[in-house]
Amino acid sequence: MTSLPAGRPAPAAAAAPLVARTVPLDQDRLWRRAVVAACDARPGQRVLDIAAGTGTSSEPFADSGVDVVPADFSLGMLRVGHRRRSDLGFTAADAMRLPFADDSFDVVTMSFGLRNVSDPDAALREFLRVTKPGGRLVVCEFSTPTNRAFRRVYSTYLMGSLPRIARTVSSNPDSYVYLAESIQAWPDQHGLATRVAAAGWSGVEWRDLSGGVVALHRATKAPVEG
């Protein structure tokens, strides 16, 4: 884990093997396991998975016996999720105006959603409001590869090859172009950590996954004094 005062993360190992290991799509299973571990939710604790979509990011929690609330502002996504997993309590919620009381969750987590929110800083403040004092935030989001050579290759792939391949194989290539552009425009690990801290969270730290292609940011809501 890297914490905010420590500055930027150290470069990762050699670039080529990383490229080979990073791009395969099954990396997402590893990322999801890392999110569940970082949330460290104990039995009886309540987790809000905001921007849960159809619930793919909520399932590992539910499957390990954690009380998880999958929430999203897309009713279409929620409907598909409910059809797939009717045992989960899918809830309509906008990350910037959550329909939950203050201090109501032990953990708030968001996977691959914050980048899409129109005002991420407002969302981070709202997550703080609904988290219990002493509770945790875990954000999983695309980030910046830590190795310079790998970063160059990744960036070329992201901005060049991925949209080009998408145009030939996908019926909705624009979504890949948006994905590539939004990843490029998103702050790096240190930049996001600074914004999480500015929203009022304490002890902000992050862990790079897949060489920094993805980063897990973790923070705590300060406990009540006295």
Ligand X SMILES: C[S@@+](CC[C@H](N)C(=O)[O-])C[C@H]1O[C@@H](n2cnc3c(N)ncnc32)[C@H](O)[C@@H]1O
Instruction: List residues near ligand X by CB under 6 A.
Output: 50-53, 56-57, 72-74, 77, 94-96, 111-113, 116-117
User: C-beta of 152: minimal distance to ligand X in Å?
Assistant: 26
- What are the Cα distances from residue 11, in Å, to 18, 90, 141, 187? 12, 40, 19, 17
User: C-beta of 122: minimal distance to ligand X in Å?
Assistant: 9
Tell me the residue nearest to ligand X as measured from the CB.
Answer: 53
DSSP conformation class of 94: B
User: C-beta of 140: minimal distance to ligand X in Å?
Assistant: 7
User: C-beta of 57: minimal distance to ligand X in Å?
Assistant: 4
- CB of 58 or CB of 189, closer to ligand X: 58
Element (H, E) at 209: strand 202-209
- CB of 53 or CB of 212, closer to ligand X: 53
- CB of 11 or CB of 73, closer to ligand X: 73
- CB of 115 or CB of 221, closer to ligand X: 115
Give the 3-state DSSP-derived string for 138-202, with helices as H, strands as E and coil as C: EEEEECCCCCHHHHHHHHHHHHHHHHHHHHHHCCCHHHHHHHHHHHHHCCCHHHHHHHHHHCCCE
